[in-house]
Structure 1
């Protein structure tokens, strides 16, 4: 603070007000809205997310997963307790089972479908993603080596608390609303838990191209704190937990005039201090038992 000096009543300067970061964001946001001319001229479809694609990893075939310290509900390393899949139902839809590689034995390959509600903390974001379902196939290739084929993912966008400004109230300020849509990043290994995601940022004020990991996806390497738990054998229903606290979160890119402001709002990029907690339940059927398509 500068030293106070004496002034006449007329020349006494006004005290400086401390502008909070959120107020700065709100002011910059208003300027950006005026710049791009979006206010009052948005198409009805502007806030709708695109079709879902993919975002995660299913349990390995073996019940002996990597060991490690699992995150607790507080997001810090601890022990997993309680029902980890209370928010997801046992998947039953096998319509997304992919076509098998040529020359493999259908009875030795299985189509796995799993559902999860991942908890994601990266940068200034902390959300429980909307439930997702994913489908893939795995089994031995003709030469005996393990193979896997990606199927599909279905999910919904998850609202981000506070919206674009960090202070927006859910449902009351749709123009500044913000949602997070996970999408497949192009790389996956269901045996090891390695996979990549992109996160599309959905808002009436953001272009469709606005994505976290747009140029290079977020790479995850899930660790499993304990073996899978069989809940049923007929039909097979298995529960598992996994997490990654080592991934780097890139900045949002291609977001138009709000790109830099959005980075400050979300605390991105964040090279460390991030966490994905992945609690899931899955089932499977061998290909010789699937309906003929």
Structure 2
């Protein structure tokens, strides 16, 4: 590139984007002096991405070879977890997970992961933590849980990434991008059968011992985001998981 072309003024859109990024970074720095904003303290910003998850059996995974379909069941469970991570507390939009479980040919318990669906949930106060600033389009911030690649529904263990969604953040920006957040749920009480046909069971569980890593792959806003969200946080985190699930054995599922 010649010196003349390198000195060419930037276009108006480029200048506006740079100014917006600088302004958001400055606001994020100011937000560190303000107390954390909880979901009750301010109205939730509106973020609409994708459709609401559905609890059907379309995500049931293929079974391992040699197992008895009548002894394996596909489970679909949905929850709207309450999450405290770092300095932010919020109720996440409903999450739906599907998996299969049953005895393997040697008699040991087996599991197969199916799928997870979720939607972004707006973070009160947006990128800044200041309620009024959080409603500005460029300052909005939302969290979308994504499957982290590990699950064991016999023991209540699974992992999630939390994608951070904002006009000023790259698509890959996430909490737990390289090392997902690991949860080990403990039951809050016994399960409750709501219905036997179809089977519908409710249960409550929680994890108050998980560690939350910092944000990753968020460009120049990575460190300001960590200050804004109080990350990384090794303690003080809580996932309250009130869920409902249903199931069907594989011999009763529609043929594919």
Taking structure 2 as the reference length, the TM-score comes to 0.79
Residue 192 (structure 1) aligns with: 155
Residue number among 255, 258, 262 corresponding to 2:221 in the alignment: 258
Residue 176 (structure 1) aligns with: 139
Residue number among 67, 73, 91 corresponding to 1:110 in the alignment: 73
Kindly indicate whether residue 247 of structure 2 is the aligned counterpart of residue 246 of structure 1: no
Taking structure 1 as the reference length, the TM-score comes to 0.70
SS of equivalent residue, structure 1 residue 268: coil
User: 1:225: how far off?
Assistant: 2.1
1:139-154 correspondence runs (5 A): 139-154=102-117
For 2:138 and 2:66, the matched residues in 1 are separated by: 53
For 2:172 and 2:212, the matched residues in 1 are separated by: 18
For 2:134 and 2:179, the matched residues in 1 are separated by: 32
Residue 83 (structure 2) aligns with: 120
Unaligned runs of 5+ in 1: 1-22, 30-46, 53-87
For 1:255 and 1:24, the matched residues in 2 are separated by: 12
User: 1:167: how far off?
Assistant: 1.4
For 2:189 and 2:128, the matched residues in 1 are separated by: 40
Residue 59 (structure 2) aligns with: 96
For 1:240 and 1:93, the matched residues in 2 are separated by: 19
Residue 26 (structure 1) aligns with: 27
1:121-143 Cα deviation digits (max 9, x unpaired): 01111110001111110000000
Q: Which of the two has higher C-alpha Rg?
A: 1
Kindly indicate whether residue 215 of structure 2 is the aligned counterpart of residue 214 of structure 1: no
Please tell me the root mean square deviation across aligned C-alpha atoms, in Å. Answer: 2.4
For 1:202 and 1:289, the matched residues in 2 are separated by: 39
For 1:210 and 1:274, the matched residues in 2 are separated by: 21
User: 1:172: how far off?
Assistant: 3.9
Q: 1:160 to 1:27 in 2, by over 3 A?
A: closer
Unaligned runs of 5+ in 2: 1-23, 31-46
User: 1:209: how far off?
Assistant: 1.6
Greater per-residue helix proportion: 2
1:179-198 Cα deviation digits (max 9, x unpaired): 00001111110100011111
| 4+ long deviations beyond 3 Å | 168-172
